[in-house]
Chains A and B, each alone.
Chain A
Amino acid sequence: MAAGVAAWLPFARAAAIGWMPVANLPMPVAPTEKNKRQDELIVLNVSGRRFQTWRNTLDRYPDTLLGSSEKEFFYNEDTKEYFFDRDPDVFRSVLNFYRTGKLHYPRYECISSYDEELAFFGIVPEIIGDCCYEEYKDRKRENAERLMDDQEDNKDAKLPNMTFRETMWRAFENPHTSTMALVFYYVTGFFIAVSVITNVVETVPCGSAPNMKEVPCGERYTVAFFCMDTACVMIFTVEYLMRLFAAPNRYRFMRSVMSIIDVVAILPYYIGLVMTDNEDVSGAFVTLRVFRVFRIFKFSRHSQGLRILGYTLKSCASELGFLLFSLTMAIIIFATVMFYAEKGSTSSKFTSIPASFWYTIVTMTTLGYGDMVPKTIAGKIFGSICSLSGVLVIALPVPVIVSNFSRIYHQNQRADKRRAQKVQKARLARIRLSKTGSSSAFLHSKRNGLFNEALELTQLPYKMNLSDQGSTEDEKRLSKSTSLIESQHHHLLHCLEKTTNHEFVDEQYYQQSYLEAGLQNYPSRSPSLSSQDGVTGSCCTRRSKKQHHTPLPNATAPAHMQPLKHTHTHPQGLQELSTIHIQPLSTSRSSLNMRVDEPAPLNCQSSQITTAIISIPTPPVTTPEGDAHLPAAPTLQNVVKVSAL
C-alpha cells in the first residue's frame, strides 16, 4: 500500500459503515492502538544539518532504518535528536522518499556514494522512480564496467595451476601476456600480410619475354607463388588447429565469426589440392580463389578498430536497411521516369528500365560517369531532379551511422542493450512482486492473526507446557511488529469478509477448492490430519506449519488425537490439502474449544501450536528458525511456502 494513501485509511474504515447493515455476521474486533501518541516532530541531525519531519512520515516504511527501531541506536539523549554522520546532500533524497513515496537520483551525485547511502538507510535502489531510473542504471553500468576493466588489467598476473590449454587460450586472446604470445601474434600478422600481398601481386603483369604477350606474375613464377601460398596456408591451418585445441568451449569457438573467417580463408587451397586439374571445374576453382581475399579479415583480430566497425555496422542494421530501402525506391522511380522520358530520342542508351538503373545510381551518388546521358529536355530535367534528391537521401541516414560508430568506439561496449533489456524485465518482475505482496500479506497475516486468536482461546482451557508460554509471547511480539496501519488495513479486509460471508484466498487454493466442489466423498482419507485440529507437534521435521480451522464436518468426532504420522508424502499433498476445510469463521472458535476433551498423547518434545500456511505462489521463503517462532512476519512480502504434512 502506498505511503500517502495510508493517510486515507481512516476514511476507508469509516466508509466501511456502509457494509454493516448488509452483513449478517458479527464483525471482528478492531485493533487497538495501545499508546496513542499524538503525532510528533522528530529532528534528524545529519552531519550538522537538521531535518525535521513527523514521526508518522518515517513510519511509512518500517523496513528501512529510519522507519524501524534501528534509528534508536542513533538517538542522542542530550540533544534529543537523531544524529547521523552521513552526507546531508544525499540525505535530502532519502528523506524526500519518505515524504513523497518516490525515490529520486540526483544527477550530480556520484553513483557509488549514492549507493552506499541507500544501503546504509536500508532502501532498495529498485524503487527509484521511472523518472530517474534510466540514468541511475546507466551510471551504475558504466561504473561496473570501469571496475571490471580495472580488474582485468590486474588480472594479467598468471594464476597458478593453469593447464597448458588454458595458458594457450589466454595467450591467443591476449597477446600481451607473454613474449611467446607476442611473437606468435606478430608472426601471424606478418603472414596474413604476406598472403594478401601475394594474392595481389599474382595478378600484376610481370615483364615479358619479347615475343610473348604480357603474362601476370602468377603464371610466370607459378612454383614460387605456390610455395608462398602453401607456406601461408600451413601457418594458418596450424594456428586454427591450435586455437581449436585451446578453446574452452570448442563448439562455441567453431561458431564464432573469427573462426569462420579462418576456415573460409584456408579452404580454397585445400579444395584446390583435392580437385583434379579438370577444365570444367577449373572455372569454379578460379572463383574459389576469390575467397582467399577473406584472409584480410583475419586482421580484425589484430585491430580493435576493425572489430568496432564491424559491430557498428551490425548495430546500425536498421539504419542501413532504411538507407538501402529508400535508395531502391528512388532508383526504381527515377529509372522508370528517365526511361519513358528518353524513349523518344534516337540512339538512346536507355534501352530498358533495368538499363536505366545504372544511370540512376550513378547520378544519385553524384558519380556521374557520363556513359549514359539524357538527351531530351524532359530527360535532363528529371536527371537533375534525380541528382539533387540523391544527395538528400544519402545524406540523411549517414550521420546516424557515424554517431553510432563514434559512440561505440568511445565506450567500447559489448552488447549492453541486450543485458539492459533483461534487467528491465527483472526489475518489473520485482516491482510486481512487491505489489502483489500487499494482497498476499493480508492472507499471510490472516493466518497469523487467527493463530493468535486460537492461542488466546486455548491458553485458558489448555494448560500446556512452559515452552509454549515463552513461545506465544514471542509470537505476540512478532505480531505487533506488523505496523498499526497494516493491522488496521487487515481488519478492514476482515470486515469485508464477514459482510459477504466469503473469504479471501489465494489463487492456488481457489483452484483446489474448485476441484473439491467436484469431489464429494473424502471424509477420512487422512484421519490423522482431521484430528489434529491445529495442535501439532513441531517435531515434524519438514517444519511444515499447517492451520486448521475446523475438522471435516462429517468426520468422526475428533476425540482422539493421533500422533503425527511422518509418512505423509508429497504426492498425497493435493489430496490432503483438500481435506482441510476452511469453514466460515464463526464456527472456528467452538471447534477449537472442543479440543479440551481430547487427550494429547503427543510424541514430540516440545508440544506447541504451529500454524501451517498452505503453499502460496509468492516467492517461497522457508524460515528454518527455532521451533518457537513463527515465520518472520516483518517482511510481509515473503510468505512461507509449506508442504502439506
Chain B
Amino acid sequence: MGLVMGTFSLQSKPVTYHKDKADDDLEMTIVCHRPEGLDQLEAQTNFNKRELQVLYRGFKNECPSGVVNEETFKQIYSQFFPHGDASTYAHYLFNAFDTGNTGSIKFEDFVTALSILLRGSVTEKLQWTFNLYDINRDGYINKEEMTDIVRAIYDMMGKYTYPVLKTDAPKQHVDAFFQKMDKNRDGVVTLDEFLFSCQEDENIMRSLQLFENVI
C-alpha cells in the first residue's frame, strides 16, 4: 500500500535541483567591491572628504556589496515617486551612470556622475544630460529617443493627475522640444544644437543651478 502511494506521489513531484542555484547565489553575494581610496576620489571629483564620507555611508547602507545593480537602482528610485512608475526613467538613468556598460554601478561611477551633476560646469551638466537622452549613444537625439525619455518622465506622474493625462501629451511635448532645439530642422538634435539652445533659454539655465547645494 505504501509502495502504491509512493509510486503515485513520485510521478507528480517535479524534481528541481535547488542546490546548484543556492551555490550560485552564495557566490554572487560574496563578490564585494571596495572603492578606491578617499584621497583619489577627492582628487577625481569636486567633493571634499566629508561629503564623500556622507555619500559613501548612504551608498553602503543600501548596497552593502558595494555595487548597485539595475534592480536595486530602480527600487531605490521608485521610492521617491510612489505615485507612478519610475522604472523606465530609472533604467535610462542607470545607463547614464554606468559609463562602462558593466551592468552595475560602483561607488566611483556614482560619485563621478554626482560630481558632474552637482558641481560641474554648465557645459558638463548639459553634456551629461545629452548623454542621458541619447539612448543609443550615437551622438544624435532623434524623435524616438526623445519620446521614450519624455514618456518615461510622464510615467512617473502616475495615473492621477490634473489635468487628465492625454495619450499624446508626451508627443506634443517632444514636438515642442524639437521645435526649440533642432535649429537646422534635420530631425535630430546634435550636441552643439543642444548646448546652444539650452544656453539661450533662461529657464533652463536657472533650473540647472537649482540643485547646487544638495549635498
Verify A27–B79 contact, CB threshold 8 A.
Answer: no
Verify A4–B62 contact, CB threshold 8 A.
Answer: yes
Verify A32–B213 contact, CB threshold 8 A.
Answer: yes
Q: Do A489 and B80 contact each other (CB < 8 Å), given the known contacts A23-B207, A39-B54, A392-B1?
A: yes
User: Does B102 count as interface, using CB distance less than 8 angstroms?
Assistant: no
User: Does B32 count as interface, using CB distance less than 8 angstroms?
Assistant: no
User: Does A500 count as interface, using CB distance less than 8 angstroms?
Assistant: yes
User: Does B33 count as interface, using CB distance less than 8 angstroms?
Assistant: no
Closest to B130 in A: A21
Verify A506–B82 contact, CB threshold 8 A.
Answer: no
Q: Measured between alpha carbons, how far is A111 from B76 in the docked complex, in Å?
A: 35
User: Does A496 count as interface, using CB distance less than 8 angstroms?
Assistant: yes
User: Does A386 count as interface, using CB distance less than 8 angstroms?
Assistant: yes
Of residues 176 to 190 in B, which have CB atoms within 8 Å of A's CB atoms? 176-177, 181
Closest to A6 in B: B58
Q: Measured between alpha carbons, how far is A493 from B76 in the docked complex, in Å?
A: 15
Q: Name the A residues within 8 Å of B89 (CB-CB).
A: 18
Q: Measured between alpha carbons, how far is A21 from B176 in the docked complex, in Å?
A: 11
User: Does A320 count as interface, using CB distance less than 8 angstroms?
Assistant: no
Closest to A99 in B: B61
1/0 per residue A489-504: CB within 8 Å of B? 1001101110110111
Chain A contact residues: helix, strand, loop or mixed: helix
* Neighbour of A18 across the interface among B93, B118, B160, B169, CB < 8 A: B93
Chain B interface size, as a band, is 35 or more
Closest to B126 in A: A21
1/0 per residue B183-199: CB within 8 Å of A? 00000000000100010
User: Does A211 count as interface, using CB distance less than 8 angstroms?
Assistant: no
Verify A503–B161 contact, CB threshold 8 A.
Answer: yes
* Neighbour of B114 across the interface among A14, A386, A492, CB < 8 A: A14
Tell which of B76, B79, B133, B176 has the most Cβ of chain A within 10 Å: B79
Of residues 3 to 47 in A, which have CB atoms within 8 Å of B's CB atoms? 4-5, 7-27, 30, 32-33, 36, 38-39
Q: Do A513 and B164 contact each other (CB < 8 Å), given the known contacts A7-B57, A19-B153, A385-B1?
A: yes
Kindly provide the distance from the CB of B144 to the nearest chain A CB, expressed in whole angstroms: 15
User: Does B165 count as interface, using CB distance less than 8 angstroms?
Assistant: yes
Verify A10–B156 contact, CB threshold 8 A.
Answer: no
Q: Measured between alpha carbons, how far is A414 from B60 in the docked complex, in Å?
A: 48
Chain A interface size, as a band, is 35 or more
User: Does A582 count as interface, using CB distance less than 8 angstroms?
Assistant: yes
Q: Measured between alpha carbons, how far is A14 from B119 in the docked complex, in Å?
A: 10
Q: Measured between alpha carbons, how far is A386 from B4 in the docked complex, in Å?
A: 12
* Neighbour of B80 across the interface among A1, A20, A26, A514, CB < 8 A: A1
Q: Measured between alpha carbons, how far is A330 from B203 in the docked complex, in Å?
A: 82
User: Does A505 count as interface, using CB distance less than 8 angstroms?
Assistant: yes
User: Does A509 count as interface, using CB distance less than 8 angstroms?
Assistant: yes
Q: Name the B residues within 8 Å of A492 (CB-CB).
A: 80
Verify B62–A11 contact, CB threshold 8 A.
Answer: no
Q: Do A502 and B165 contact each other (CB < 8 Å), given the known contacts A8-B58, A21-B129?
A: yes
Q: Do A5 and B206 contact each other (CB < 8 Å), given the known contacts A17-B129, A18-B132, A505-B160?
A: no
Verify A22–B211 contact, CB threshold 8 A.
Answer: no
Verify B61–A4 contact, CB threshold 8 A.
Answer: yes
Closest to A510 in B: B160
Verify B214–A504 contact, CB threshold 8 A.
Answer: no
Verify A504–B129 contact, CB threshold 8 A.
Answer: no
Q: Name the A residues within 8 Å of B126 (CB-CB).
A: 21
Closest to A14 in B: B117
Verify A15–B93 contact, CB threshold 8 A.
Answer: yes
* Neighbour of B206 across the interface among A2, A19, A27, A489, CB < 8 A: A27
Of residues 384 to 408 in A, which have CB atoms within 8 Å of B's CB atoms? 385-386, 388-390, 392-393
Q: Do A438 and B81 contact each other (CB < 8 Å), given the known contacts A10-B114, A22-B177, A504-B157?
A: no
User: Does B100 count as interface, using CB distance less than 8 angstroms?
Assistant: no
User: Does A144 count as interface, using CB distance less than 8 angstroms?
Assistant: no
Q: Name the A residues within 8 Å of B113 (CB-CB).
A: 14
Verify A26–B206 contact, CB threshold 8 A.
Answer: yes
Q: Measured between alpha carbons, how far is A25 from B213 in the docked complex, in Å?
A: 22
User: Does B41 count as interface, using CB distance less than 8 angstroms?
Assistant: no
Verify B176–A24 contact, CB threshold 8 A.
Answer: yes
* Neighbour of A7 across the interface among B61, B125, B162, CB < 8 A: B61
Q: Name the B residues within 8 Å of A371 (CB-CB).
A: none
Of residues 483 to 530 in A, which have CB atoms within 8 Å of B's CB atoms? 489, 492-493, 495-497, 499-500, 502-507, 509-510, 513-514, 517
Verify A12–B1 contact, CB threshold 8 A.
Answer: no
* Neighbour of B207 across the interface among A26, A438, A489, CB < 8 A: A26
Kindly provide the distance from the CB of B48 to the nearest chain A CB, expressed in whole angstroms: 11
Q: Do A504 and B125 contact each other (CB < 8 Å), given the known contacts A7-B58, A11-B110, A26-B206?
A: no
Of residues 101 to 149 in B, which have CB atoms within 8 Å of A's CB atoms? 110, 113-114, 117-118, 125-126, 128-129, 132-133, 149
Q: Measured between alpha carbons, how far is A5 from B73 in the docked complex, in Å?
A: 11
Closest to A496 in B: B156
Q: Do A500 and B1 contact each other (CB < 8 Å), given the known contacts A18-B129, A510-B164?
A: no
Verify B164–A499 contact, CB threshold 8 A.
Answer: no
Q: Name the B residues within 8 Å of A7 (CB-CB).
A: 57-59, 61-62
Kindly provide the distance from the CB of A398 to the nearest chain B CB, expressed in whole angstroms: 16
User: Does B50 count as interface, using CB distance less than 8 angstroms?
Assistant: yes
Kindly provide the distance from the CB of A381 to the nearest chain B CB, expressed in whole angstroms: 13
7 closest A-B pairs (Cβ-Cβ)?
A7-B58, A389-B1, A14-B117, A510-B160, A502-B161, A439-B82, A27-B207
9 more CB-based (< 8 A) A-B contacts, given A5-B62, A21-B198 = A8-B62, A15-B117, A27-B207, A392-B1, A439-B83, A502-B154, A510-B160, A510-B162, A510-B164
What are 7 inter-chain pairs, A to B, with CB distance below 8 A? A8-B80, A17-B128, A26-B207, A334-B1, A489-B80, A495-B207, A500-B154
Q: Using a CB–CB distance below 8 Å, which chain B residues touch chain A? A: 1-2, 4, 50, 54-55, 57-59, 61-62, 76-77, 79-83, 89, 92-93, 96, 110, 113-114, 117-118, 125-126, 128-129, 132-133, 149-150, 153-154, 156-165, 169, 173, 176-177, 181, 194, 198, 203-204, 206-208, 210-211, 213-215
